[in-house]
Amino acid sequence: MTVKIESQIASEEIVIEMNGVNKWFGDFHVLKDINLSVTKGERIVICGPSGSGKSTLIRCINHLEQHQEGIINVNGTLLNESSKNITQIRREVGMVFQQFNLFPHMTILDNLCFAPVWARNMPRAEAEEIALRYLDRVGISEQKDKYPGQLSGGQQQRVAIARSLCMSPSIMLFDEPTSALDPEMIKEVLDVMIELAGTGMTMLCVTHEMSFARSVADRVIFMDEGEIVEENTPDAFFDNPRVDRTQQFLSQIL
Ligand code: ADP
Ligand code: MG
């Protein structure tokens, strides 16, 4: 029995719109005609076999990968070649990766203050205040003067989430945030994500953590071979997958 976290914000405001998005790596058609609308406060879980295009899909949203066809609009800003638009979109979108990507030579506190100070011109004292608030929220404040290598994987991933939140994003993308973690550390990271979901953050999470999907997601999207094959509410998706490929995938992971 899972406890469902209710959406805090019942909204029809669309904050991410992907329309007819196609992408190729050379000859390889990695994203095929992707249509996806995400409303404010919505929590989406994306799953699917390795190589199906999940990372590429979410990386296109903040232009870490470039799509070649179709329209991507984030919070009213069209993602095109304009560096002004790309910068604007990156202000809105935070991302957490499987490998935590912390700066190894900086303390935890410096990791969190770096972008606000250098990219946003925030006074150091203000950046520290915000950083400490988020470190506290993810339960790491007593580790602030350590270096990433001195922390466990689960702690590093919580720091990575806090670091992203310091830039006050309105949308958070997670790309398999628990896949590199030992099993005993997965829960501490999922708990932080669940807490974040409770604040009304718009979240797109690539993950195979099905308990997380069931308790947090408003919608589960299944990708295979570059296509969105099926999408549904978590309960319908897991209990009653409609498409053969989804059934096959679920039988492997559940
Ligand atoms: P997933 O996250 O679902 O495992 P990815 O989006 O990482 O899938 O990759 C989808 C496909 O695109 C895979 O076949 C992968 O090998 C290929 N791919 C990913 N990145 C690149 C790249 N930079 N150049 C060429 N092929 C890539
Ligand atoms: Mg991936």
pLDDT digits (tens, 9 = 90+) for 102-152: 999 999 999 999 999 999 999 999 999 999 999 999 999 999 999 999 999
Ligand located closest to 64 CA: 1
Res 254: pLDDT: 74
Residue 1 has pLDDT above 60, yes or no: no
Q: pLDDT grade, residue 8 (50/70/90)?
A: low
Site to probe by mutation for ligand 1, drawn from 28, 30, 54, 222 as the one with most ligand atoms within 8 Å of Cβ, is 30
Ligand number, closest to the Cα atom of 180: 2
* 49, 57, 106, 213, 238 from 248: Cα distances, Å: 10, 22, 44, 18, 12
Give the span between the Cα atoms of 40 and 204, in whole angstroms. 11
Distances (CA, A) of 79 to 68, 97, 109, 126, 156: 11, 21, 32, 31, 31
Q: Of all helices (H) and strands (E), which one includes residue 253?
A: helix 244-253
Q: Residue 230 forms beta bridges with which residues? A: 222
Q: Tokens 């058609």 sit at which residue?
A: 29
Six-digit token string for 81: 């070649």
pLDDT on residue 103: 97
Residue type, 228: I
Structure pTM?
0.95
For the beta carbon of residue 243, count every other beta carbon within 10 angstroms.
Answer: 12
Count Cα atoms within 13 angstroms, Cβ side, for 71: 9
CA distance 188 to 159: 12
Residue 26 CB coordination number (10 Å): 6
Query: Is 74 strand, coil or helix?
Result: strand
If you take atom 5 of ligand 1, which residue's CA is the nearest one?
53
Report the first-to-last Cα separation within the chain, whole angstroms. 16
Does ligand 1 lie within 6 Å of residue 118's CB atom? no
- How much distance in Å is there from the Cα of 254 to the middle of ligand 1? 24
Q: State if residue 25 touches ligand 1 by the CB under 6 angstroms criterion.
A: yes
Residue with tokens 């990156």: 90
From the CA of 25, how far away is ligand 2's center (Å)?
A: 15
Q: How is residue 38 written in tokens?
A: 């995400």
Give the residue-averaged pLDDT of 178-197: 96
